[in-house]
Amino acid sequence: MPTDRSQQFAAACALMAMVDEMIDGALLVDRDARIVWSNDRHVWFTEKLMAQLGLQSRADAIGQPVERVIPHSRMREVVETGRSMPLDIMRYGEHTLLVSRLPLRDETGEVIGALAFALKNSLTYLRPIADRFNKLQSRLTRVEQELAASRASKYTVENLIGFSPAMLQVKRLVRRAGQINSAVLLLGETGTGKELVAQSIHACSDRAHRPFVGVNTAAIPENLLEAEFFGVAPGAYTGAGRQPRPGKFQLADGGTLFLDEIGDMPLPLQAKLLRALQEREVEPLGSNQVVKVDVRIIAATSRPLAEMVRSSAFRPDLYYRLNVFPIQLPALRDRRDDLEILASLFSEKVALSLDQPMRDLTPSALDALRRHDWPGNIRELANVIEQVYVRTEGDRILAEDFADILPDAPLDRPAPLEGKRPLAAAMDDLERSLILEALADCRGNKLEAARSLGLSRTNLYAKLRKHGIPVQPDD
């Protein structure tokens, strides 16, 4: 092996001469990052570039700091650190180069310089790789955007429909919960909209632009719960993939984790969940390494957790960790004032989904809904409205349309011709007759009819719908 430094550089030059046909340029620098050699057709020493650098010939570059010839060179970094840079894309003048940089060492291992060479026809070799990389990068970006959108909150406080005192209190608490980072416990019967409330809390918090991940504890088999929550390490069990699979905690990192039906969680997993909440870290299944996580917990249940704690069916320490900011969601029977607006909303949505005209609810139909006890709450109301659309016909929804759906629904019957009538019914009949008379006098022109009745056009259309009068375009 050569022992003299000049011999070592000579050996490096001889090596470069052997691979000269494979490269577009080669460059050697010493331990001070000064140029000591370059091959004859080095891309950095074109006449144009040398003129720009004020060099008369290629020989003038020898002994110059490499940065003078190549302003953004990283050769000095290779010399100082002793670390190679096997592959790098470099832009120099009009050239785009695929460059490799390697440190040169003596027999003691000391760095005495560095070697750089640019592959011949770099762009030709790079183009297929670059095209493939760009396609993969675009696909990855698109998938990440779709995944982020799927984990974004779909609802806000504005989606909490209702103006009853109970719902106004819920909205107030939701806004307050969005201002804090403590755990929230949503309590309420099945079908009261707990996930909608959870997403609304997330949407008005400072985590709104981070993931919202929901998991229904009752829907996952007990033997898979730990893997779903904490993730799986490669080869953790037979059939496990070679890549780590993140759990819900990792997916929700920086955002909100919604634990629905928390009352159905098995006791052994409750202990592990408690540790994850306390330590803010999880240990994937089959791994001995912990992963730090930052999640905001919103839990929900339709079961009486306090009673379950007393009967030892739910861990008291986990209950205290979750029950920091409780929100009790009212049952639909406790907010009957909201029935009309909710029923109208579901009627509009169902009509749109079925591509049918929207059907307004008659006063007697609304009375039928108010008589029902709604054990399934809002979810049951949505189902009832959809059943009406697919099982009955008509321009409006009548009380009798609920006869086979709600057993306690009254029927729409014509008022008796004789005897006393309620004042409201008599006023409705009078108003309807006056509107029909005005329309007849104005030959169906809604604007003129509204003026003759002293109403705005908007109010007239509202009353037409109220009384079931067909709305036709103005003549």
Residue 253 Cα to chain centre, angstroms: 12
Instruction: For residues 470 and 475, give the distance between their C-alpha atoms in angstroms, rounded to a whole number.
Output: 14
pLDDT score recorded for residue 475: 46
Which has the higher per-residue pLDDT, 56 or 109? 109
Confidence of residue 417 (pLDDT cuts 50, 70, 90): very low
Confidence of residue 454 (pLDDT cuts 50, 70, 90): confident
Which has the higher per-residue pLDDT, 218 or 5? 218
pLDDT score recorded for residue 21: 61
Question: What is the per-residue pLDDT across 13-33, written as a single tens digit (0 to 9) for each?
Answer: 666 566 666 677 788 899 999
**CATH of span 423-467:** 1.10.10
Question: What is the per-residue pLDDT across 280-298, written as a single tens digit (0 to 9) for each?
Answer: 998 888 777 888 999 999 9
Torsion of CA 368, 374, 377, 381, to 10 degrees: -30
What are 406's two structure tokens?
């709600």
pLDDT at 170 over 90: yes
What residues have CB less than 8 Å from 254, skipping those under 6 apart?
Answer: 207, 210, 211, 294, 295
Task: Look over the chain and give the mean of its residue pLDDT values, rounded to a whole number.
Answer: 82
**Nearest CA to 364 among 417, 406, 420, 419?**
406
Q: What is the residue extent of each domain of the chain?
A: 17-120, 157-233+246-330, 333-404, 423-467
> What DSSP state is assigned to residue 282?
E
CB 136 within 8 A of CB 122: no
pLDDT score recorded for residue 1: 43
In terms of CATH, what superfamily is 157-233+246-330?
P-loop containing nucleotide triphosphate hydrolases (3.40.50.300)
pLDDT score recorded for residue 415: 47
pLDDT score recorded for residue 347: 93
Residue 69 Cα to chain centre, angstroms: 49
Q: Looking at the domain 17-120, which fold is it?
A: Beta-Lactamase (3.30.450)
Instruction: For residues 200 and 187, give the distance between their C-alpha atoms in angstroms, rounded to a whole number.
Output: 15
Beta strand pairing call for 360-361 and 396-397 = parallel
What residues have CB less than 8 Å from 218, skipping those under 6 apart?
Answer: 260, 261, 264
Pick the CATH number of 333-404 from 3.40.50.1110, 3.40.50.150, 3.40.50.300, 1.10.8.60: 1.10.8.60
pLDDT at 146 over 80: no
CB 302 within 8 A of CB 261: yes
pLDDT score recorded for residue 40: 64
CA distances 376 to 17, 149, 167, 331, 473, Å, are 84, 30, 17, 9, 41
Instruction: For residues 287 and 297, give the distance between their C-alpha atoms in angstroms, rounded to a whole number.
Output: 24
pTM of the model: 0.57
pLDDT score recorded for residue 152: 58
Could you give phi then psi for residue 257, rounded to 5 degrees? -110, 120
